A and B are shown apart, each in its own frame.
Chain A
Amino acid sequence: MDVTADRPSLTKGADPILSVRNLETTFAVRNSTIKAVRDVSFDLRPGEILGVVGESGSGKSATVNSLLRLLPPPPTAVTTGSVVYGGEDLLTVPARRLRAIRGKEISMIFQDPSTSFNPVQTIGWQIAEAIKVHDRRISRTAVRARVIELLTMVGVPSPQVRFGQFPHEYSGGMRQRAMIAMALANSPKIIIADEPTTALDVTIQAQILDLLEKVRTETQAATILITHDLGIIAEVADRVLVMYAGKIVESGQVREVFTDPQHPYTLGLLASLPRIDTAMEELLSIPGQPPSMSSPPSGCAFHVRCKLTQGRDRCRQEQPALTAAGGSGSHLAACHFSDEMESEAISIAAIVGTDVRAGTRP
């Protein structure tokens, strides 16, 4: 896992293109509410790939779906906070304005390409639709030419034929390529990819990741990449947000977070990641279950599964704030005892036979 190499397109210090502040999303379910997103704030910078990682149910998808208001309307789902894009708050802009942004300036790539395409329309029709809803005057031939160009760009062979085919006539990997083509249709400023490879075979996954990197290089679009797989983050992301129980527990440059994790959950994820670059004697799984989102644990939501807690009341009672950790200004973590991480990493290294932190090999 090579995360120490410099990323050429990394743009440090540029003004954020998307600014999320205090995002909270709550779902109303029969007799209870689920707090899926709890006080999430982050910036997305132009041209970067921001990875968001966490277990299933940690609020990753709810976070990104909140950004474009893709969740069911209130009272089912209620989102508060702000999502500032180009000086406008996406959570409050009029529906018409939001529609002009969706798919045009910010587009989405969904997890399961087999269910995310309308089964009764051709792929060509569906990609063309993404163009036509934003440009009503464009000619039929121009749309077709653009769709073929997009399909060619994402590597769909014989696009002329593929244009007229239905989703069920595509393979899984081809469908995800088509989905990416659709997301690129209007040359968006931001692409949000929600677990884009989870539903695919491993070999196809690598191709899709390569494609996403190629797209970033060619279009310079900023990308939010959601995944539960740290390996994918290590491979393609510039920065990473680690989410747990609806909150960001750690964020920073991928290099910082992987070489010097400042939250025990991140370390736990690293210890449970199978590696081929280093000899691990065993994988450590994080004990316990992800917390219930209808009644998350008090204090630090991770305390029930955390080895640093050691019965200390502070973990149980006080919610840790996301503060600077690990020395660099960009690296943040939400743990009361991140100064104990070094010894924790060493004790894990003693069990698995190697230091799971990247770039710090014995």
Chain B
Amino acid sequence: MTGEAIGGGMGADEAAAMLGGHLAGPEETIAGPGLPSQSPTRIALARFRRHRLAVAGLTVLVVLVVLALLAPLIAPFDPNAVDLAQYRRPPTGVHWLGTDEAGRDVLSRLMFGARVSLTVGVVAAVSAGLIGLVLGLLAGFLGGWVDALVMRLTEVVLSFPSLVVIILLVAVIGPSITSIVAVIALFEWPIGCRIVRQITRVTKETGFVLAARSVGASNLRLMTRHTMGSVISPLTVVVTLLSAQAILLEAALSFLGLGVNPPQASWGGMLRSAQSLTVLSDFPWLWLPPGIAIAITVLSINFVGDGLRDAFDPRQEM
């Protein structure tokens, strides 16, 4: 396997491929001084704002997060309140999205399900990003056998189809939000790691790190101080796209019956009922809303990721 675009995911590895190509290195961080009004952050912000789909995606995400946070206050019903009198009722003025096989309100379950999806997405992606950051810094900065070991490890981990191996692990340790997050983080870190490593290697060779070393700065200080600046923006893109990936993984796990424990609501779990052809054909309000919710969430995150990638890309002119 050659090149940097190696990864199991569908979005994040693309980011890796495109970021791998240019590897901003230090230019981004030292571009500032001469033009104080054109700080990299400000330029990136301006570029991001120009990316209409990314702004739309961000707006949708903010709304989703607010809905999820406020779910206990604004949800019309208790998501787990069983009411067998209201068995699989189609949408009405009371139950906007109808009720499920236990008479529970679909809309309320959808709102509470958002909490699961978003939590898993954010926490798993950030954890994976952190693991990647630490290992990438170590590999890139120390080089030698540490580098070789970490790189082989990324290849090994990337060889496993993440969904299948996550299925195995979750089946072993038992499904819960914590175990899903942990297992996703454990198998989605290599892409971030490779990018961090490559940038670290570039930064290590540049003059100002050599200069800092010559005046006696320790390796650890060098790593943290000088590399973080150039690493942070590409890593943000990767983490963003990974969170989309994590949400899809969680949904697939729940759909396969390895998600959060019932009766807790999750989008993938709600779709599980559609494995029955009867539900699929006669009760579309049970499975269409969670499916659409996942698609919109993931699409929004992917747009934001694309927008961030364009915003951080120093090749683009303003």
Q: Which residues of B contact A29 (CB under 8 A)?
A: 317
Q: Which residues of B contact A31 (CB under 8 A)?
A: 318
- Whole-angstrom CA separation of A29 from B318 in the bound complex: 11
* Beta-carbon contacts under 8 Å, A31-84 to B: 31
Nearest-CB residue, chain A, relative to B316 = A30
Contact with B along A17-34 (1 / 0, CB 8 A): 000000000000111000
Report the interface size class on chain A: under 10
* Beta-carbon contacts under 8 Å, B302-318 to A: 317-318
Interface size on B, residues (CB 8 A): 2
- Whole-angstrom CA separation of A29 from B317 in the bound complex: 10
* Beta-carbon contacts under 8 Å, B94-148 to A: none
* Beta-carbon contacts under 8 Å, B148-203 to A: none
Nearest-CB residue, chain B, relative to A29 = B317
Contact with A along B283-318 (1 / 0, CB 8 A): 000000000000000000000000000000000011
Q: Which residues of A contact B317 (CB under 8 A)?
A: 29-30
- Whole-angstrom CA separation of A31 from B50 in the bound complex: 14
Q: Which residues of A contact B318 (CB under 8 A)?
A: 30-31
* Beta-carbon contacts under 8 Å, A323-359 to B: none
- Whole-angstrom CA separation of A265 from B317 in the bound complex: 32
- Whole-angstrom CA separation of A30 from B317 in the bound complex: 8
Min distance, Cβ B49 to any Cβ of chain A, angstroms: 16
Min distance, Cβ B222 to any Cβ of chain A, angstroms: 37
Q: Which residues of B contact A30 (CB under 8 A)?
A: 317-318
- Whole-angstrom CA separation of A31 from B316 in the bound complex: 12
- Whole-angstrom CA separation of A31 from B317 in the bound complex: 10
Min distance, Cβ A295 to any Cβ of chain B, angstroms: 15
- Whole-angstrom CA separation of A223 from B318 in the bound complex: 40
* Beta-carbon contacts under 8 Å, B197-230 to A: none
Min distance, Cβ B313 to any Cβ of chain A, angstroms: 13
- Whole-angstrom CA separation of A30 from B50 in the bound complex: 13
Nearest-CB residue, chain B, relative to A30 = B317
Min distance, Cβ B99 to any Cβ of chain A, angstroms: 54
Min distance, Cβ A55 to any Cβ of chain B, angstroms: 23
- Whole-angstrom CA separation of A268 from B133 in the bound complex: 55
Contact with A along B231-265 (1 / 0, CB 8 A): 00000000000000000000000000000000000
- Whole-angstrom CA separation of A343 from B8 in the bound complex: 73
- Whole-angstrom CA separation of A120 from B269 in the bound complex: 51
- Whole-angstrom CA separation of A30 from B47 in the bound complex: 13
Contact with B along A193-223 (1 / 0, CB 8 A): 0000000000000000000000000000000
Nearest-CB residue, chain A, relative to B317 = A30
- Whole-angstrom CA separation of A30 from B316 in the bound complex: 10
- Whole-angstrom CA separation of A30 from B318 in the bound complex: 8
Nearest-CB residue, chain B, relative to A32 = B317
Min distance, Cβ A293 to any Cβ of chain B, angstroms: 15
Min distance, Cβ A31 to any Cβ of chain B, angstroms: 8
Min distance, Cβ A34 to any Cβ of chain B, angstroms: 12
- Whole-angstrom CA separation of A31 from B318 in the bound complex: 8
Contact with B along A151-176 (1 / 0, CB 8 A): 00000000000000000000000000
- Whole-angstrom CA separation of A198 from B222 in the bound complex: 42
- Whole-angstrom CA separation of A44 from B317 in the bound complex: 39
Min distance, Cβ A84 to any Cβ of chain B, angstroms: 37
- Whole-angstrom CA separation of A29 from B316 in the bound complex: 11
Min distance, Cβ A74 to any Cβ of chain B, angstroms: 21
- Whole-angstrom CA separation of A112 from B318 in the bound complex: 30
Min distance, Cβ B281 to any Cβ of chain A, angstroms: 51
Min distance, Cβ A4 to any Cβ of chain B, angstroms: 48
* Beta-carbon contacts under 8 Å, B17-74 to A: none
- Whole-angstrom CA separation of A61 from B317 in the bound complex: 23
- Whole-angstrom CA separation of A352 from B312 in the bound complex: 50
Contact with B along A250-267 (1 / 0, CB 8 A): 000000000000000000
Min distance, Cβ A46 to any Cβ of chain B, angstroms: 44
- Whole-angstrom CA separation of A274 from B318 in the bound complex: 40
Min distance, Cβ A89 to any Cβ of chain B, angstroms: 34
Min distance, Cβ B50 to any Cβ of chain A, angstroms: 11
Min distance, Cβ B84 to any Cβ of chain A, angstroms: 63
Min distance, Cβ A211 to any Cβ of chain B, angstroms: 38
Min distance, Cβ B317 to any Cβ of chain A, angstroms: 6
- Whole-angstrom CA separation of A234 from B318 in the bound complex: 42
Min distance, Cβ A260 to any Cβ of chain B, angstroms: 43
- Whole-angstrom CA separation of A31 from B46 in the bound complex: 15
Min distance, Cβ A28 to any Cβ of chain B, angstroms: 13
Min distance, Cβ B72 to any Cβ of chain A, angstroms: 48
Min distance, Cβ B284 to any Cβ of chain A, angstroms: 46
- Ranked nearest first, the 4 interchain pairs of A and B with the lowest CB-CB distance are A30-B317, A29-B317, A31-B318, A30-B318
Q: Which chain A residues have a beta carbon within 8 Å of chain B's beta carbons?
A: 29-31
- A sample of 4 cross-chain residue pairs with beta-carbon separation below 8 angstroms, ordered by A number, consists of A29-B317, A30-B317, A30-B318, A31-B318
